[in-house]
Structure 1
């Protein structure tokens, strides 16, 4: 099982610890994305580094401590700051050449809360290149005047999927679209959400076109008295919109659901109907079955949902599809369940149907 790295100190010191302790994982990330950019976007790594520099001004305005942390990561790992910037802007760089074959990671995210469950729980599978299993880091970040963050990420990337000591948790689904901006890279916006104490603060970090790329953010919050709430926000360079219902559960995969967002963007997911939409419908079906059977909605039922192999290889427990183009082949790399009410988290590395969840 993956070892948790505890990072403390100033932003620069936090980054240096990430870089030093996670150097091997950072090198793996650099190798993965250099190959993907070269083979499918026809972008050299030097070109990717130059593209990443376009985001520096927006990052400085958003939270200059994130830039300091990335400088620390570079120093600790013995690489250039441009390398770390490129990793954190890898979603935006992948959208940089619309005439070529675009790629992005996939996911199935689920959230439940009252009235269908006592606890507020969020969870997801992160589907991507199997090689990136070797890049995974479990980080616990202690930054002054911010909640403590526990986060699963790729080596070198300082914002991704996790929860914080204020009871706020975050799941992330990439959306493949035809437009982007030079605002804040989406992975750094994820960190902005995880740095937040409240839902309102989290929304303030992603509204008004602050993000350079589009994505779905499924955010849960549990208060000390046990009350909780889950929201699903689709973000874009043109603003945000809430999606999903109000029946106590939410599901998102990798296609745009908001009619507001669709007015500005074209959904470029060529496997929308045979993959993303089917995973979405299957997850909803599993939740409705559990409700009808009056099953207890807890981490055990989440394990069952996230391990579901119906319609494999394009199942919630995603298998690599040999019939898809290579740049769009992906599999479940990790699975995470966050009980925000009980402050308990369960993690499975690799496909959950083939492994086991460990409490972290």
Structure 2
């Protein structure tokens, strides 16, 4: 997978969208074509996909008009139809209409008197999103953000310069696809733009209707104290799972909240429990201070299920692989990553992009 880098040069969101769209027209078109193919393979008819995307547009215009303006600019800059951009932004909500997808393992350690130490894998379709982007943005309120995402999405894994970082895992619930809602990737961007605490992030999550489920694991540092919580969101409700007494929080792709877990939905064989147990059993590794060393340690676990490889016995649209391993420096407002699984860290380039600094390589 290729991970591009992009820095905004304006806080005018529509102009930034136009500039981004013009620069990445090829990638946006390729993403649109790939997702249209995936939707069809997954059994979502084109009219249903476009209706869901339009519902997501309307909800975003109501609850996050500045993000909707960015996508208007992106469509204009790329010469794609606006509805094509929304097909990408709403891909989770569209896939929630049919067979959901597996994605991601996250662990956050909360040391005493020091910033959180985090790690996430991003598992996605082998055939999709083989070009992605890490974006540096500065909002109209002055908040600096650096976030990894697919083309056509406003955010996914990221950190702001207000002491907050966010990891992102997909979840599946029986209420998915039952109502219009703000896309979960838009919600992630709203939190990165507006929040500095878990309480603020939770308030933002509770303030919008949703059409699909995810967990946003939020880690914070105020200069003295670190904290973390998994904000589990579904159209049917929201729950907050705080970092436990052991000070390490683990999440994969099943609900931890008992009430939301009662509506769990997964029609296929999932590896969420083996990946969860792997992280719990190796929780002490999350305490390693240096980001790359932490990723290396998890990558050295023999046959660890958090390194997902595509299965050739599955059809193309059901082959998942670990495409990214990422850590967040909440105190330094930086995202570090490798384009690959934890087992690939030792042989791949480790990259770091901070909110206010140029990209660095190690």
- Compute the displacement of 1:306 (Å): 4.5
Of 268, 271, 286, the match for 1:270: 268
Matched, 1:345 2:338: no
- Compute the displacement of 1:208 (Å): 5.6
Q: What is residue 50 of structure 2 aligned with on the other side?
A: 49
Q: Distance in 1 between matches of 2:351 and 2:96?
A: 35
> What are the superposed Cα offsets for residues 207-260 of structure 1, whole Å, 9 maximum, x if unpaired?
16632211111111112x242211111111122112252321111111122112
Matched, 1:330 2:300: no
Q: What is residue 201 of structure 1 aligned with on the other side?
A: 200
Of 281, 291, 296, the match for 1:285: 281
Matched, 1:143 2:135: no
Matched ranges for 1:5-154 at <5 A: 5-7=6-8, 8-44=10-46, 47-97=48-98, 102-115=99-112, 118-154=114-150
Q: Distance in 2 between matches of 1:70 and 1:268?
A: 31
Q: Distance in 2 between matches of 1:131 and 1:311?
A: 23
Q: What is residue 357 of structure 2 aligned with on the other side?
A: none
> What are the superposed Cα offsets for residues 48-91 of structure 1, whole Å, 9 maximum, x if unpaired?
22331122332122111111111111111110110111111111
TM-score by length of 2: 0.88
- Compute the displacement of 1:299 (Å): 1.3
Q: Distance in 2 between matches of 1:319 and 1:91?
A: 21
Q: What is residue 357 of structure 1 aligned with on the other side?
A: 350
Of 292, 296, 299, the match for 1:307: 299
Q: Distance in 2 between matches of 1:219 and 1:228?
A: 11
Structure 1: stretches of 5+ with no match in the other structure? none
List structure 1 segments (4+ residues) > 6 angstroms apart after TM superposition: none
Q: Distance in 2 between matches of 1:211 and 1:119?
A: 31
Q: Distance in 2 between matches of 1:72 and 1:357?
A: 32
Change (3 A) 1:132 1:176: same
Q: How many residues align?
A: 344
User: Cα RMSD over matched residues?
Assistant: 2.2
SS at match of 1:123: strand
> What are the superposed Cα offsets for residues 164-211 of structure 1, whole Å, 9 maximum, x if unpaired?
111211100001233222121111111111112322322121116632
Q: Distance in 2 between matches of 1:17 and 1:226?
A: 39
Structure 2: stretches of 5+ with no match in the other structure? 354-362
Q: What is residue 358 of structure 2 aligned with on the other side?
A: none
- Compute the displacement of 1:47 (Å): 4.2
TM-score by length of 1: 0.88
Change (3 A) 1:269 1:282: farther
